[in-house]
Structure 1
Amino acid sequence: MEQTQSIKDLIIDIDEKKVYLPEFQRDFVWEISKTYDLFDSLIKDIFIGAIIFGVPSFDIAIREIDNRKKIVKGKKRPSLGVRTITKREIEQINKVGGNFRLILDGQQRTTSIYRALKGTDEVWFIAKNEEEIETGNFENAKLEALLHEISGEQDAERLSIKLSDVWDVEENDYDEDEIKEKLFYATDYYKNCCADEGFDVKAEFKKFRNLRKKIADLFKSEKLLSYYLLDMNLEKFVVFFERSNTRGVQLNFIDILAAKLYTGNFNLKEKIKEFEIQNSNIVFIPEIIVRSIAFIKSSPKEINRNYILTSLNAGDFKDWWDKVCKLYKVTIDFLYENNFIISQDWMPYDNMIIPLINFLKEIGGDFHQMNTDQKRFIEYWYWNSVFSLRYSGSSNERIIEDSNILIQIAKGKKINSASYFNKLSKIQILSADDIYSFNKKANAVYKGILNLINYEKSGLINWNNDSRLSLNSTLEDHHIYPKNYLSQALGTESEKGLIDCVANRTLIPKIQNIKISDQTPSEYLNEIRKVNPEIQKSLENHLITRELLNGEYDREFSFFLDSRVNSIFEIVSRRLIQPKEAIREKFYEEIKYEDTANINIYCSYKGNKAEATFNPATTKIFYNGKLYDSPSAAALAVKIDNGATDNPSENGWTFWKYMDEIGMEKKINDLRAGTKITSLTT
């Protein structure tokens, strides 16, 4: 029978050693973006699936929940606690109300929740500003209504709170002054806004305190997590794991959209099949086409699933489907032919295709039409977006922002937002040592490194015959020093922890990877040399030293890894880090405006929209027949007009917004004279 429990009780049970995993369960593999999605679902009361616990009636090996930090070079990663628990021990624990149980299904969800609340993974609740809340004010709005996004970093323009800080307060019972000093004053939001006119510290801390309590109440909600508790003998336990991955068929977003469009005489499934037949060498992702059409049709720009299902119709798809499919094909061909991707399966972010489609549409459908400067910007944007994990988390906002930026570049215009360049520069690799921590193929930076080598070398080649790996190659990230060989040959745990490091990986055809098995590097490479005498050229193409052939490096794994890490970082530095200032100087332009120029602005408070005009030179706003000396004063007037009481405060620079010439919504803070953040030329 399905039961429910709170996040708080689950975390306490894990801490009190009542919840474990079977030792044979797969490792924790979720990327952080899935953790963001998980908490987004919990806050919005979206069913995340039930956790299945089992109480085994037999002896079994168990291990702890993985709460380890990521791998750091030179530091031994602690092993997970593994032990055997007997049937008798389980019976004795539960006899006195211990509630011992194993997680049979739901390990990734449970581990993600635990790591976030314990602070192992940084997970931030980014709140909407009060004017963005459609119903009620900040204090009485539900937590879902307050959520702007779940992110891995805080937002300097929005109230942000780390989930682990909420849990820490609950565990340690901080008083109000401690919360203010340790948490609120430490936020980027407070540091960024505290000196601004209209920023009321008392009112903003009240919001922070209120938000913390709402999140804490979420953790305590007894009905938040659904679970089943099964008493299982050994036979049932085995059958469960044999069958657990084969149950049920789930409808996806495209299935639902196809059903809607079919009523308007547009057969989406047939169109998908038609493209796949005509372009068998390309992996087709229908959602990319759908979102691209949504971007083209919407104003202001929206590409979320709710907009697509409610606002797009069969006529929109009849107008744009074939055109966007052609742009999609040309974009994939461009990425491969210019060595941005080795194959589609190894593309770091599929959603990055959408901004490129919009850029391509703007220049006339042919990448040969772009000039040298545009190509230079595309290169910088692409790699820095990958290495900054820009498309992890709330990718819809990134897609819209990048599409608008690339449209500007396509028009030959400069970018007027300094903050945009700051976002692109926040890459995950700032030193060679950072490379050692990337060891999971699902990570965009891991894929990005392998693709960047491909870009640097103008295409990776097949070790057998020196031909270039094709777009639809079935590739595997081969261990240059095979995993089975290293498991036997290495002495220290810190070395073994680096076996899967991306610096020990390169992409080769799957069948070749199987044949290599567990031989030493010199053994398997010399076998390949029999069919390709020029194998040393292939190795150098993959950024691998040819000295591996003579056998002297077979037991020098650490030396090889350090050398390749430094070679990889040299490329990262030259392609991503060093061009930063030159790119900014070339493509950034500060806004210029006349003293007499006014622009139309607007805001929304409690679902009511207000319009005004703003003079960036004088910072005065004309609203509702009256001239206000500052944006904050005008913002307060809007709030009072819409029923706000209790002496409301507001930072007008983030409250008021305007629409730039390409339909992108921006805050008037971007027009603020003397700040680093500026915007579009009028």
Structure 2
Amino acid sequence: MEQSESIRELTQSIEKGTISLPEFQRDFVWDITKTYDLFDSIIRGIFIGAIIYGKPSFEIAVREVDDRPRKGQGKNRKLKIDKFTREEIANKVKVNNYRIVLDGQQRATSLFRAFKGIDEVWFIAKNESDYDYNEILDKNLSEQTLEEIIYEISGNEDKERISIKLSDVYDIMQQNWRESKIEKEIFKKQTYNGDDDEGYDYNLEKYLTICDKLQDIFKESKLLNYYLLDMDVDKFALFFERSNSKGVSLKFTDILAAKLYAGNFNLRDKVDEFKDNNTAFANNFNQEIIVRTLAYIIGDGREKIDKSYILKKLNHEHFTEYWDKICTWYKETLNFLFDNSYIVSQSWMPYENMIIPLIIFRWELGRDFSQMNEKHSEFIQYWYWSSIFSQRYTGSSNEMIIKDANYLRKVAKGERILEKAYFNRLARLQINTKDDFYDYNRKASALYKGILNLVNFQSKGLVSWENNNKLNFNDNRLEDHHIFPKNYIKKRFKDDLEAQDKMSSAINRTLIPKISNILISDKAPSKYLKEIELKNSSLRESLNKHLIPLEIMEMDELFFEILDERATKLFDIIQNILVDKQAYILQNHYKEREHQKGYIEIFATYQNQEIQAHLDLETEKVIYKNEHYSPSGAASKVKEEVSGKATSTSGWHFWKYKDEEDEVKLIKELKE
């Protein structure tokens, strides 16, 4: 609910330390002219926006509002950071009405700095000569509004006009100065306090009158609107992820950093340390991968690894124990993927979240990837490419990460997977004919990236066209080059819709460093490739590695034929490494469950109530309150009892059980 407070109350709260900023908030960046505009808006009654406060209910690090000078000594002084436990925060909120600024820190800081005199802000009053003809001169000064009186808001005293420094007004309010003291301590020290037309007494009265009016505005509780949000850590993170009103993107890891800082683990410093010590991985380092991996380890694969779990359950002790280890495994995993040609570079990886199950595999293995046995290697290869070409990580991937990590752990230990449905899902490939390759033409598509990386995998590492050197993991020039240039296709096949359609497909693309010294533009492939061949006599070997038919060097007109041949080669690779391997993988990594007899406990959650029942494994009947039902019949009975309405539902998706590894699953998986 929207509330209001005065600017004076805001400043007092900051002085007392009952208003702070989250440690992760960006620095105060407003130019002083924005502060002038802010006070001008206040004087003229223009809405300046609401401030949003939060009452945190979790441990957090906070910092003071910026009171450093803009220039000179102390401008780079580090701001004080305080760390509070959950209990300390709760007590401060209860006893001192403690709040942190979620949105509006630039405005709040500007107001505070002006009142404290850190930034000099002056109200400059009009002289009579500044008024327009017939403008309110018939009003006494006491009857005029500040908007009518103001000449400007400035950073300096005006030598020809009454000037009132706002920090003086705040001091007058706080110390309740009498007129005599105001005259002695402030007014007499002014550069302008009287002239031939307007004498000393007149200007003193004018000064005091304007001071009173400014105090009235600064004390006015309705001037500054605010929202006070009582937030748990989930809502706190969500607020920052969605607010982004100033163009600054904050992620939940920023809030996590503030929590961990309160426990003496500096996440930002650890990230910077990793980047400084590992330049090869610095550009694309993803701290969220490390954090989610850590969450999996702490939860031992039984908990979610989503934002809520991470913010609520992970603490500085977990990070102190595992951060450096996981960073090491992270590097080893990326090196394994690159050395074995699964990826050309990290930026071109189809699903970056797939790194997490691989790190968990390395953790469970207990030794370097080079120590994998043959069964490990064959499963990793099948799992990796099947996951990409079945698009298993598209959309929300947390559940997929946990499932894959759990099964890769079993593989690492030499155990077999008991869930046949898992292998069935891996086999649901999206590329079922060579023509399917033409459907993917956007870099944002994981399958598009997967196709380009598949060429790299088949070739044991792609090479540059200009020198046949293997492409570098960190080459920032890497781009998805059109083999037949777009402009060439548009001119040569300008009326052929099929050619236009296939022009930007993955089949007409390959990954190479940008050819900066050769203007390809609308040149035919035979022409620009021969220019490259003058630099690299082994270009044809490079084209072979890119699965590009060599006819392209001589016969540009074979656009469709060359793409078709390349699509055929790629489809044969998928057949070879995935389709033809499905039976073999199943035979060597799946173990059929022994036929179960008897009953198992099952459960369901409906309208926040947990319902217990049993499943007869032989008859597939659910026993609920001593009555036998089909799974769907039992589900309908539960819904009728809880809600008073009998609604049909699929019982196989309603009831759940825990398997041998204590993982919650739907009973439909038992049926499968």
TM over 0.5: yes
1:406 aligned onto 2:382: no
Structure-2 change in CA distance of 1:342 and 1:620 (3 Å): same
CA-CA distance at 1:374 after TM superposition: 2.1
Question: Which residue of 2 is the match for residue 168 of structure 1?
Answer: none
1:575 aligned onto 2:577: yes
- Contact kept in structure 2, 1:343 and 1:471, CA below 8 Å: yes
CA-CA distance at 1:585 after TM superposition: 3.1
1:499 aligned onto 2:499: no
Provide the secondary structure at the position in 1 that maps to 2:280.
coil
Q: Pairwise mapping of residues 65-80 of structure 1 onto structure 2 (< 5 A)? A: none
Structure 2: state its 5+ residue gaps. 1-243
Please give the alpha-carbon distance, in whole angstroms, between the structure 2 residues aligned to 1:386 and 1:603. Answer: 33
> AA paired with 1:531?
K
Question: Which residue of 2 is the match for residue 395 of structure 1?
Answer: 397
CA-CA distance at 1:606 after TM superposition: 1.7
Question: Which residue of 1 is the match for residue 272 of structure 2?
Answer: 273
> AA paired with 2:395?
G
Partner of residue 440 from structure 2, selected from 438, 441, 459? 438
CA-CA distance at 1:594 after TM superposition: 4.8
CA-CA distance at 1:343 after TM superposition: 0.6
> AA paired with 1:263?
A
Question: Which residue of 2 is the match for residue 541 of structure 1?
Answer: 545
Superimposed CA distance per residue, residues 91-150 of structure 1 (whole angstroms, 9 cap, x where no aligned partner): xxxxxxxxxxxxxxxxxxxxxxxxxxxxxxxxxxxxxxxxxxxxxxxxxxxxxxxxxxxx
- Contact kept in structure 1, 2:551 and 2:562, CA below 8 Å: no
Question: Which residue of 2 is the match for residue 249 of structure 1?
Answer: 248
Structure-2 change in CA distance of 1:489 and 1:312 (3 Å): same
CA-CA distance at 1:313 after TM superposition: 1.6
Please give the alpha-carbon distance, in whole angstroms, between the structure 2 residues aligned to 1:571 and 1:632. Answer: 44
Question: Which residue of 1 is the match for residue 369 of structure 2?
Answer: 367
Please give the alpha-carbon distance, in whole angstroms, between the structure 2 residues aligned to 1:271 and 1:318. Answer: 10
Please give the alpha-carbon distance, in whole angstroms, between the structure 2 residues aligned to 1:343 and 1:275. Answer: 19
> AA paired with 1:521?
P
CA-CA distance at 1:647 after TM superposition: 3.9
- Contact kept in structure 2, 1:384 and 1:425, CA below 8 Å: yes
Q: Give the superposed CA RMSD.
A: 2.5
Structure-2 change in CA distance of 1:462 and 1:599 (3 Å): same
Provide the secondary structure at the position in 2 that maps to 1:467.
coil
Question: Which residue of 2 is the match for residue 90 of structure 1?
Answer: none
Please give the alpha-carbon distance, in whole angstroms, between the structure 1 residues aligned to 2:640 and 2:245. Answer: 58
Question: Which residue of 1 is the match for residue 481 of structure 2?
Answer: 478
TM-score (norm 1): 0.58
> AA paired with 2:487?
N
Structure-2 change in CA distance of 1:513 and 1:578 (3 Å): farther
Q: Pairwise mapping of residues 38-117 of structure 1 onto structure 2 (< 5 A)? A: none
- Contact kept in structure 1, 2:350 and 2:388, CA below 8 Å: yes
> AA paired with 1:477?
D
1:290 aligned onto 2:291: yes
> AA paired with 2:249?
Q
Question: Which residue of 2 is the match for residue 155 of structure 1?
Answer: none
Provide the secondary structure at the position in 1 that maps to 2:454.
helix
Question: Which residue of 1 is the match for residue 534 of structure 2?
Answer: 530
Question: Which residue of 2 is the match for residue 609 of structure 1?
Answer: 610
Please give the alpha-carbon distance, in whole angstroms, between the structure 1 residues aligned to 2:245 and 2:536. Answer: 43
Q: Pairwise mapping of residues 252-651 of structure 1 onto structure 2 (< 5 A)? A: 252-282=251-281, 283-298=284-299, 300-474=302-476, 475-491=478-494, 492-512=496-516, 515-549=519-553, 551=554, 553-596=555-598, 598-617=599-618, 619=620, 626=626, 628=628, 631=631, 635=635, 639=639, 643-647=642-646, 651=650
Higher RCO, 1 or 2 (CA under 8 Å, sep at least 6)?
Answer: 1
Please give the alpha-carbon distance, in whole angstroms, between the structure 1 residues aligned to 2:479 and 2:596. Answer: 58
Please give the alpha-carbon distance, in whole angstroms, between the structure 2 residues aligned to 1:352 and 1:639. Answer: 38
CA-CA distance at 1:332 after TM superposition: 0.5
- Contact kept in structure 2, 1:404 and 1:664, CA below 8 Å: no
CA-CA distance at 1:370 after TM superposition: 2.5
CA-CA distance at 1:501 after TM superposition: 1.5
Please give the alpha-carbon distance, in whole angstroms, between the structure 2 residues aligned to 1:513 and 1:365. Answer: 45
Provide the secondary structure at the position in 1 that maps to 2:487.
helix
Provide the secondary structure at the position in 2 that maps to 1:658.
strand
- Contact kept in structure 1, 2:421 and 2:669, CA below 8 Å: no
Question: Which residue of 2 is the match for residue 91 of structure 1?
Answer: none
Structure-2 change in CA distance of 1:662 and 1:322 (3 Å): farther
Count of aligned positions: 424
CA-CA distance at 1:651 after TM superposition: 4.4
TM-score (norm 2): 0.59
- Contact kept in structure 2, 1:591 and 1:671, CA below 8 Å: no
Provide the secondary structure at the position in 2 that maps to 1:604.
strand
Superimposed CA distance per residue, residues 178-217 of structure 1 (whole angstroms, 9 cap, x where no aligned partner): xxxxxxxxxxxxxxxxxxxxxxxxxxxxxxxxxxxxxxxx
Provide the secondary structure at the position in 2 that maps to 1:368.
helix
Structure 1: state its 5+ residue gaps. 1-244, 678-682
> AA paired with 1:548?
I
CA-CA distance at 1:603 after TM superposition: 2.3
Give me the identity figure in percent. Answer: 46
CA-CA distance at 1:341 after TM superposition: 0.2
Please give the alpha-carbon distance, in whole angstroms, between the structure 2 residues aligned to 1:529 and 1:632. Answer: 69
Structure-2 change in CA distance of 1:628 and 1:477 (3 Å): same
Please give the alpha-carbon distance, in whole angstroms, between the structure 1 residues aligned to 2:336 and 2:507. Answer: 27
Please give the alpha-carbon distance, in whole angstroms, between the structure 2 residues aligned to 1:264 and 1:383. Answer: 41
Computing the radius of gyration from Cα coordinates, the structure with the larger value is 2
Structure-2 change in CA distance of 1:269 and 1:557 (3 Å): same
> AA paired with 1:297?
I
Provide the secondary structure at the position in 1 that maps to 2:343.
coil
Please give the alpha-carbon distance, in whole angstroms, between the structure 1 residues aligned to 2:542 and 2:424. Answer: 37
